Structure 1
Amino acid sequence: MAASVPDPTAEPDPAFPEDPLYREAVVDLLGAIAYGEISAFERLAEDASSAPSLEDKVALATMASAEFGKVAALHTRIAELGSDPFGAMAPFRSAIDSFHAHTAPADWYESLIKAFVGDGLADDFYREIAAYLDADTRDLVLASLEEETHAAFVVDRVRSGIRADPRLGGRLALWGRRLMGEALTQAQRVAAERDALSSLLAGGVDRPGLDLAAIGRMFARITERHAARMEELGLDS
């Protein structure tokens, strides 16, 4: 997939803050989201190969295609900001790959939970950060995180599985809690290791920021949304 090349003669976006550290933070964020979408695409495509039915295979393949379809706009925006999209993604490869390595599903149902709950946790984190972005970048981030209609598919399959085997619910509830812990650890690690992202959350003279109490409330909201997803699946959080 070719990324657009930035035009050095283009006029700067007057709505985009001039602060170079802010620009770096935006490139970091878009790079992290873009690599996350690519990683999700790869995982869902692999899960589709082991789906128990043709209908399930098509549903997961559609989910994978939707994830990959979001990457081009993110790459285009990174290029518009004067950065290389692949260079922007590179710093996040290790953390995201590590998360997936530590949360490899053991079966079909764990794959579904990870697609719904694990990806949802990452999206919630990025939505929280998006509140501190300029309007155009915020809209792009939120559009890239729009949940597709596959949520109903996952909920139906998981609830049907639990009805068929009630013991499945306990195991999947534990799996969901593990995903929660791993996702929060990853989010905190990414924010802490990237100075620009940390500065973005801290705010600036022209932007609001987060103090320790606000950061605590942010993670509390993420936890609450995780519990709501688990409840939708018929699982304890």
Structure 2
Amino acid sequence: MADPLHDAGTVDLLGAIAYGALTAFERLAQDGAGAPTLADKVTLATIAGRQVDHLERVRDRLAALGTDLTEAMTPFHRAFDDFHAHTRPKDWLEGLMWVYVGSGFADDFYGEVAVHVDGATRALVEDVLSDSAHDDFVVSHVRAGIEADPRVAGRLALWGRRLVGEALSQAQRVAVDRAGLTALLMGGEGADVVAVNRTFSRLVENHAARMRRLGLQP
């Protein structure tokens, strides 16, 4: 028998991923405009194009589930737009970190939720989230920026903490506001708040690993 709450959570998960892909495309396009070299512009344009592909694949899965893409994305405008408003990068390096740290945290959150969806949706989500084409690009450029001017390391470390703090706040807000997502995050019967807290602890641990890779955390 179909579970309406589970089905709603699946649509919410896909809607959040779709809107996240759209905002990542917009951020990458903006970063590309300020890229220091032509090669960087080309790389960011290519990565941005992959976000469009993700959006289209999620749209097709939503259509198979009988849901319109725009309808599925609409509940997440506020959370994503608030995140944008509170975390506007000031320069090229902060913009790169916004994509790597902010999007990385969101992807980890989606991955936690996707454990409890149907097989076809889970396979799609895992495939989309496995696309980490921008990771090496961001890490190499941020590390090069720090090597060129070690003074920026402190500022970027603070920026990383600000990004994860805001991302954590918005993720918790979305999980509370959307009953379907909450049900998926809880993992069904037998799950409790402790399990959810462990989930968010893993998200923070993954963030710390990213910051270490950037050379911004011991």
Q: What per-residue deviation string (whole Å, max 9, x for no partner) do you get for residues 149-195 of structure 1?
A: 32111111111111111111100000000000000001001110111
Q: After superposition, what is the alpha-carbon deviation per residue over 1:172-220, rounded to whole angstroms, capped at 9, x for unaligned?
A: 000000000000001001110111212223344xxx5631111111111
Aligned length: 218
AA at the equivalent of 2:212? E
Identify unmatched segments of 5+ residues in structure 1. 1-16
Q: Which residue in the other structure is 1:219 paired with?
A: 200
- Provide the residue aligned with 2:66 in structure 1: 82
Which amino acid in 2 is paired with 1:226?
A: H
Q: CA–CA distance in 1 between the matches of 2:28 and 2:190?
A: 35
Q: Pick closer, same or farther for the CA change 1:212–1:73 going to 2, 3 Å.
A: same
Q: Tell me which moved more, 100-109 or 146-155.
A: 146-155
In the superposition, the TM-score normalised over structure 2's length comes to 0.95
CA distance in 2, matches of 1:79, 1:209: 32
**Percent of pairs identical after alignment?**
55
How many Å separate the matches in 2 of 1:36 and 1:127?
A: 13
Q: TM-score if structure 1 supplies the norm length?
A: 0.88
In 2, distance between residues paired with 1:19 and 1:105? Answer: 41
Q: Where does the alignment leave 5 or more consecutive residues of structure 2 unmatched?
A: none
Deviation at 1:127, TM superposition (A): 0.4
Cα RMSD between the aligned structures? 1.4
* 3-state DSSP of counterpart to 1:70: helix
Question: Higher relative contact order by CA 8 Å / sep ≥ 6: 1 or 2?
Answer: 2
1:15-30 equivalence runs, <5 A:
18-30=2-14
1:105–1:20: structure 2 CA closer, same or farther, 3 Å change rule? same
